[in-house]
Amino acid sequence: MKTKKKFLRLLNLLLALALLSGCSLPFAASPKSTPTSLPAPEVRVTSAPAADGAALMQAYLTAWQNDDYPSMYAMLTPASQQAISADDFAARYRNTMNALTLKQLSYEILSQTTDPAAAQVNFRVTYTTNLFGELQREMSARLEKHASAWTLNWNESLVLPELSGGNSLTIDYQTPARGIILDRTGQPLVTQTDAYALGLVPTNIVAEQEDTLVGELSRLLNISPSQAIALYNDRRDVYWYLPIGEATAEAVNQRWNLLSSLGGLVLTPYTSRFYYQNGIAPQTVGYVSPIPKEEEDLYARAGYSRDARVGRAGLEQWAEQYLAGRAGGTLYLSKTDGTLTQQASTASQPAANLQLTLDKTLQIQAQEAIAGFRGSIVVIERDTGRVLAMVSSPQYDPNLFEPQNQNSADGIGELFNNPNQPLVNRATQGQYPLGSVFKVITYVAALESGTYTPDLKLQCGYDWTELPDKVRHDWTWEHFQQELAATGEGKTRPSGELTLSEGLMRSCNPWFWHIGLDLYRQGRVNAIADMARAFGLGQPTGLAQIPEGTGQILNPAGEVEAVNQAIGQGDVLVTPLQVADFMAAIGNGGTLYRPQLVEKIIAADGTETTLFKPEARGTLPIKPENLEALRKAMWEVVHNPRGTAVHRFRNINVPIYGKTGTAESGSGLPHAWFAGYTDAQIEGFPDIAIAVIVENEGEGSDYGAPIFKRVVEDYFFGSPRSLYWWEANIGITRTPTPLGFEGTLTAQPQP
């Protein structure tokens, strides 16, 4: 019994000791729990830091991939952070990656060794660069544990091994000349050349030389003498430099002896991107300028030198990849002792040239046709969609964006402070109510509904009262009131009974208000809006090279909205490009083309690498007989004695189809529209569609129609054949406002 009790006491003691020591009983252990498994707690202590160290290094390298330098800096040891500031740390990485022209960075962890307080991680970095191909470097990083967290003991070799000791990278760039922008015939619109900034000190002008000075400015700037005088005439008492414009060195040098002798004329040479005639289609072509400071890293990575000029707007920006070519250069390691060691090198690639669909001569003429007004002209080749002219007025001088140009500083300030916003491309980004030009869409919607015919008649009086909210007045009533107030006698009479086609010819508001309301009440609520969208409104035209507005076509929310929409008012917004595009479709039989601005990309060796071709994007949903009825009505607008534009198109031997529009703008005078197309069918002169808008000037037939006619004359005859009613001579204004109430409002109905 005693022996048994002693054994039990011994067993309890052993159990207690086993529990206190955390060990298994020797006799109870299986072979799998022998001392070979006892070091497990020690493995947990040593392996955990290794995993954390690798995780830190992976986080650091991932942050590097994302240029997240603040996160990288936060992972450094306290001693490393004392040795370099956060800004200098970021600059060291940023400058090196820029010098490498880094496109992408990737990494691979190769190995790691760890102990409780330190670790070493070996890794490989692959620098994929834009100029120098792919570079690889293997590096080793030391990690230290501080306050239970792993940190990186940083030095410059972790950016690139060669940078150890304060070395740096530099590039000697070889930048190719920027490509030329040509018109459709190969004439340059933009090139790289030597130029002169032209300026005047008006008080130094010698009276006896002024006629010669005006003549020379007129020649250099390709403007009329009266326009040249206007550049300084109202500032003759200015004692300081007055910017005038720019001219090529070739043009100046041809007459250098004479020009250099003219008192008051200042000629300052510079070399740069040169935009002929102070900007041909500037809002479309765009401009180049120095790289903005906030984008220097982006362009450096792409292989640009810090002093490069880059496309910042228009086609210059869109075609950057073609026009810039590719810079070449040599990458050097710049050592602290002043020596340079070549690291890599690449040859430059020449730029390509850009050939447009724009016609240089017509573009310049169209710019002159609308000069002095705010507005736009778009001219499209009717049967292809090629854009021959795209004018936004006022225009601006893209040469001003070159800092070497003496005229730049003052000119840029005036440009950005100009309330008329010349930098906006009104042709593609200007969004306007369309007014009565929209009636061609309402006309088609009515015919396609099946409840209207071209010969259906309606009384077109002064007033329209089908909606109870208010009395709406036709333009004839408005004009009658204006005449009455001005002369005491109103002469304009209502148009009387009109067929639907005559309603379009006379632009009778009651006819189209009636259609809008009637279709809405029939349950065809969105008939007009859907037709407008089918004409390409309310959406981009697909012109890919420059920004464009979408305009706005909403489904009417009620009868008032339907009535307003029917005459192109209310919520209707369009761009001039959209209007020219659908006018071309009416003229060519119903095909909506994607407007085309670029004809081809031409490599430096003359190879045409990319060709752009006309592209149909839709078909107008119009039955052939309805399209023919529309075209006849648009012919009557221009040729019938009662047409709203007939008096503006006398004595022009070109078949023109069009529509006047006077769009209430919400402030000031209405916008004046005229849009249409030609059907001359003359070999060598493809027919064209044109949209003209003149902002806040009044009647469409007073301003839109004359400018439309001027463009047609320029295109088919090479120069204007008639004066504007406001001109004394071509380009010389007679009066600033219309004489009386000419235009749509004065067209009298026949008895």
Distances (CA, A) of 458 to 364, 497, 503, 746: 45, 6, 8, 21
DSSP 148-175: TEEEEE--GGGT-GGGTTT-EEEEEEEP
CA 30 remoteness from chain centre: 79
Question: Which residues, other chains included, contact 336 with Cβ-Cβ below 8 Å and sequence gap of 6+?
Answer: 165, 166, 167
DSSP 368-420: HHTTTSSEEEEEEETTT-BEEEEEEES---GGGG-TTSTTHHHHHHHHHH-TT
Which two tokens mark 280?
Answer: 């041909």
Exposure string over 127-159, b if 16+ CB within 10 A, otherwise e? bbbbbbeebeeebebbbbbeeeebbbebebbbb
Q: Phi-psi region for residue 546, left (φ > 0), alpha (ψ -120 to 50) or beta? A: beta
What is residue 701's DSSP assignment?
I
> 354 pairs with which residues across the strands?
181, 601
Distance CA(522)–CA(287), nearest Å, equals 52
Exposure string over 555-586, b if 16+ CB within 10 A, otherwise e? ebeebbbbbbbbbbbbebbbbbbbbbbbbbbb
Query: Do the beta carbons of residue 370 and residue 707 sit within 8 Å?
Result: yes
**Radius of gyration for the chain, computed over Cα atoms and rounded to the nearest angstrom:** 38
336-344: long-range contacts at Cβ-Cβ below 8 A with a sequence spacing of 24 or more?
336/165, 336/166, 336/167, 340/170, 343/132, 343/162, 343/169, 344/131, 344/132, 344/133, 344/135
Whether 665 is catalytic: no
Q: Name residue 400's amino acid.
A: L
Nearest CA to 635 out of 586, 582, 565 is that of 586
Q: Phi-psi region for residue 3, left (φ > 0), alpha (ψ -120 to 50) or beta? A: alpha
Cβ count near 521 (within 10 Å): 12
Distances (CA, A) of 621 to 6, 223, 520, 533: 111, 46, 20, 11
Q: Compute the residue count for the chain.
A: 751
Distance CA(511)–CA(498), nearest Å, equals 9
Instruction: Give counts: helices (H), strands (E), the chain.
Output: 25, 29
Characterize the bridge pairing of strands 181-182 and 353-356.
parallel
Given the residues 408, 436, 507, 701, the one annotated as active site? 436
Cβ count near 361 (within 10 Å): 18
Distances (CA, A) of 2 to 5, 6, 13, 743: 5, 6, 17, 136
**Helix, coil or strand: residue 739:** coil
Catalogue the active-site residues: 436
